[in-house]
Amino acid sequence: VMGVSGSGKSLVGAGIATALDATFVDSDALHPRENVAKMSRGDPLDDADRAPWLDRVGDRLGEAGDCVIACSALKRVYRDRIRAASGGPVIFVHLIGDQTLISERMAARVDHFMPPRLLASQFATLEVPDADEAAIAVDISPPPVASVIANALDALGDAARLTDSK
């Protein structure tokens, strides 16, 4: 499950994993300490900072069997790196939402290392998945979160049916 910080990746990803009887992993737990410290200071990560983290995400996908991972995966090169490290097929569920809505959500959360002031850098970095990527887009605006999870599961079912028919 991908998207900018505050889009609901962890909550939606956990819900998808529960529905699919899969393992859930929050990629925040896979960040090196240096990355967490940098973001906590309000400094955005660069590609060099992200590289070992993305490899860990892909490795975890490859070793975990049925697994849902919450990971920003903001650029195509990041998603390609995750796919390569996983050694298998990966479908990205891209959570999309308005920057104002996400900013409000970030302001309301507590005990998270990612400060709301970095949200603009996340939107600036975001590369929406291209049509040739295995990705589906899910709008995060319809409440409650159960609706977002249901929409994601429906889209995943459609994606699986398309893949099976090829």
Pairing of strands 135-139, 92-96: parallel
Per-residue pLDDT at 166 exceeds 50: no
Q: What is the pLDDT of residues 17-43, one digit of tens each?
A: 999 999 999 998 999 999 888 888 878
Compute CA 87 distance to the chain's CA centroid, rounded to the nearest angstrom.
18
**38 vs 143, more confident:** 38
* Nearest to 49, CA basis, from 61, 72, 74, 31: 31
Tell me the three state secondary structure of residue 94.
Answer: strand
DSSP state letters, 35-75? HHHHHHTTPPP-HHHHHHHHHHHHHHHHHSSSEEEE----S
Tell me the three state secondary structure of residue 144.
Answer: coil
pLDDT confidence tier of residue 103, bands split at 50, 70 and 90: confident
Q: What is the average pLDDT across 70-90?
A: 95
Instruction: Name which of 50-64, 88-102, 148-162 the model is least confident about.
Output: 148-162
Give the per-residue pLDDT at 119.
Answer: 77
* Cα separation, 103 vs 106, whole angstroms: 5
Q: What is the pLDDT of residues 130-142, one digit of tens each?
A: 999 999 999 998 7
* Mean pLDDT computed over every residue of the chain: 87
